Amino acid sequence: MSLPLRHLTRSSSRLSSTFGSLSRLPWGASYTNGTRLQSSLLDIPVTADQTTLPDIDPSKLEIRRTTSPKSIPLSKDLVFGHTFTDHMLMVPWSAKSGWGVPRIEPYGPLSLEPSCTVLHYAQTIFEGMKAYRQADGTITLFRPDMNMKLRIFNGDAFLELIKRLVRLDSNWIPTEPGHSLYIRPTMIGTQRAIGVNPPTEALLYVICCPVGPYYPQGFKPVSLHGTTEYIRAAPGGTGAFKLGVNYAPGVMPQKAAAKLGYAQNLWLHGPEHYLTEVGTMNLFVVFKHPDGTHELVTPPLDGMILPGVTRDSVLSLARGHSNGTHKLNLPEKLVVTERSVSMKEVKSASENGSLVELFGAGTAAVITTVDKIGYMGEDVLIPTGEDGLGPISRTIWRELVGRQTGAIPSDWSVVVD
């Protein structure tokens, strides 16, 4: 996940950040290319008042267990994001006193005043990551450090608290293949005040959902609507962050795409109709060039693209293969590029047979393959294999899922002990 925190890292040097409250960072994003990936787990804001105010302190954790545990639904009945575990984690913050006592409590309603800033100005930012339970009972998190890159608090401390929550609710983690516990850290502005300002109070909380595979019947490629009348993100906007404001405006375009018979929006940018993202996933396209080279392309992190953990993982695996450090069952000649791709390029590749595949990547569904794009009144067709995957996505998916579940050992899998 990239916590609320993904975009809090806009200052490339933590020493140069000057916010003394949650203020300038969380709610007005300005994104510097790749900062999320450069920051380290231990980065916390170092400013006069931040250093004197308490950071998140796991040793202060207070736990109040539920007295009425819910019954855990059968895995086959799980609907993504509809079932929540018995407990939640909450850590309050205020500009005056810094991070407060972390609490794990029974999952339940929050008490907020109607004036709270989150309810008016959408001061909410979230993350999404997964925990897996291995056959021997070991619980692991997938690359949680990638989601903890928030400068406004100590990511290690917060991760420690998330582990405590996951351990407490570990009986909720389904063990069937493809199942996991989806973890949703969220931060909201809770100041009671009307007026657009950085909040002086906030709440960081974490809830968890047991989830099944996104595609229980195996891979089923989806169709996309190459959306030319609406946008998801724009240069200088907040598209690179999981801010609540980025998602509500996608609902109407999604309905419009569904009405035309397409499953998701393919978000395009500019007069060239550059491809950016698929629904709420990052996007990859594979071309085969005349010299036999395969090219795996994803749009660059230009501030409009959410710097997904899955995106980064796909890139690392493919680069590991192409530079020979970790060979996979992929074409010998594979180049991996982060560059812009236009609909014109995809359409002509589809027509001349050089388009190999196109897929989305994100924590929830891992990989989603695409079989057609409705674009300017026509369908651009995209090849998919009989199993619904393509030659690159098939291998990447296997490796990724292997590493996520722990079946393939890797340092991306972090044990919850």
Ligand X SMILES: *Cc1c(COP(=O)(O)O)cnc(C)c1O
| Binding footprint of ligand X on the chain (CB under 6 A) | 1-2, 128, 242, 277, 280-282, 306, 308-311, 362-363
Task: Give the nearer residue to ligand X in terms of CB position, either 293 or 410.
Answer: 410
Residue at shortest CB range from ligand X:
308
Task: Give the nearer residue to ligand X in terms of CB position, either 306 or 349.
Answer: 306
Residues written for the chain: 417
- What 3 state SS string does the chain have? CCCCCHHHHCCCCHHHCCCCCCCCCCCCCCCCCCHHHHCCCCCCCCCHHHHHCCCCCHHHCEECCCCCCCCCCCHHHCCCCCCCCCEEEEEEEECCCEECCCEEEECCCCCCCCCEHHHHHCCEEECCEEEEECCCCCEEEECHHHHCCCCCCCHHHHHHHHHHHHHHCHHHCCCCCCCEEEEEEEEEECCECCCCCCCCEEEEEEEEEEECCCCCCCCCCEEEEEECCCCCCCCCCCCCCCEHHHCHHHHHHHHHHHHCCCCEEEEEECCCCEEEEECCEEEEEEEECCCCCEEEEECCCCCCCCCCHHHHHHHHHHHHHHCCCCCCCCCCCEEEEECCCEHHHHHHHHHHCCEEEEEEEECCCEEEEEEEEEECCEEEECCCCCCCCCHHHHHHHHHHHHHHHCCCCCCCEEECC
Q: 368 vs 143, 238, 264, 361, 362, CA distance in Å?
A: 20, 24, 11, 6, 8
Cβ at position 307, least distance to ligand X in Å: 8
CA 39, 44, 45, 47 torsion-angle sign: negative
Task: Give the nearer residue to ligand X in terms of CB position, either 133 or 232.
Answer: 232
Task: Give the nearer residue to ligand X in terms of CB position, either 143 or 288.
Answer: 143
Q: How far apart are CA 388 and CA 28, in angstroms?
A: 40
Cβ at position 346, least distance to ligand X in Å: 19
Q: How far apart are CA 95 and CA 166, in angstroms?
A: 29
Cβ at position 205, least distance to ligand X in Å: 18
Cβ at position 308, least distance to ligand X in Å: 3
Cβ at position 157, least distance to ligand X in Å: 21
Cβ at position 357, least distance to ligand X in Å: 18
Task: Give the nearer residue to ligand X in terms of CB position, either 283 or 380.
Answer: 283
Task: Give the nearer residue to ligand X in terms of CB position, either 99 or 267.
Answer: 267
Cβ at position 251, least distance to ligand X in Å: 14
Task: Give the nearer residue to ligand X in terms of CB position, either 21 or 310.
Answer: 310
Cβ at position 232, least distance to ligand X in Å: 7
Cβ at position 299, least distance to ligand X in Å: 11
Cβ at position 336, least distance to ligand X in Å: 17
Task: Give the nearer residue to ligand X in terms of CB position, either 98 or 307.
Answer: 307
Task: Give the nearer residue to ligand X in terms of CB position, either 174 or 362.
Answer: 362
Task: Give the nearer residue to ligand X in terms of CB position, either 93 or 359.
Answer: 359
| Two tokens, residue 401 | 């899922």
